[in-house]
Amino acid sequence: MADLSHQSAPGPRAAIAIVATLGLLAAAWAVLGDGVYLWVKAAHIIAVISWMAGMLYLPRLFIYHCDAPPGSPQSETFKVMEQRLLTVIINPAMALTWVFGLWLAWQAGFFSSGWLHAKLALVVAMSGVHGFFSASVRRFAQDANTTSQRTWRMWNEVPTVLMIAIVLLVVLKPF
Ligand code: HEM
């Protein structure tokens, strides 16, 4: 079994990161005034790219992991890769995407817009898939995955479809 015991729980670290980000946001706003909007949008897009990179790669690791016999060196390597991808990239990137996105929506007064409601529904669905993948990392770590490789191949497409719909909604703002 891979030794992942040195990994601390993400909860407190995520909370500290969010509070620190909000503090930085407030300071930047005080210095830059309204010009901060485009900087925050750039930060939002960078966070989105990082979140999506992880959400597209993690199920691909699960697909390969299904082929590795439990206890084999390959299986142990996949466990470390999955755990690190989740805690170092995917979790913080999701938190930052939410913080920056909600701030942008509040600043621009988009909360009454239909496109944002639809986008938020899809981002909540993406966050749910994130939660499911996160639980799956724990199951793989315990050699307790019961999902077939074929089913993982289907899950692999879900974040892609959601991402395409979300980007079309925010760029085209169709309603
Ligand atoms: C977590 C909740 C999210 C909220 C509240 C949110 C909200 C927003 C807002 C208000 C904007 C600024 C729109 C404008 O200035 O015209 C924006 C920009 C953007 N968002 Fe999000 N967003 C979220 C998550 C996401 C996700 C998950 C993606 C992609 C998968 C995404 C992709 C983008 C892109 C590409 C832009 C730039 C659009 C442009 O400038 O034309 N957002 N978001």
The residue whose CB lies within 8 Å of the most ligand 1 atoms, and thus the one to mutate among 104, 126, 162, is: 104
Do residues 156 and 108 make contact, with C-beta atoms less than 8 angstroms apart?
A: no
Could you give the CA distance from residue 38 to residue 87 in angstroms, rounded to a whole number?
28
Q: Stretch 68-90: mean pLDDT, rounded?
A: 97
The per-residue pLDDT for 141 is: 98
Give the pLDDT confidence score for residue 54 in this predicted structure: 98
What is the mean predicted confidence (pLDDT) over 143-148? 97
Note if the pTM is more than 0.85: yes
Kindly tell me the sign of the dihedral angle through the C-alpha atoms of 46, 47, 50, 51. negative
Output the residue whose Cα is nearest ligand 1's atom 35. Answer: 167
Which residues, in sequence order, are CB contacts of 130 under 8 Å at separation 6+? 55, 90, 94
Domain parsing of the chain, residue ranges: 34-172
pLDDT at 5 over 80: no
Distance CA 99, CA 97 (A): 6
**150 C-alpha to ligand 1 centroid (Å):** 32
Q: What is the model's pLDDT at position 1?
A: 47
CA of 93 from ligand 1 middle (Å) equals: 14
Q: What is the DSSP string of 16-44?
A: HHHHHHHHHHHHHHHHHGGGHHHHHHHHH
Phi, psi of 94 (to 5 degrees): -65, -45
Least confident of 26-30, 108-112, 117-121, 146-150: 26-30
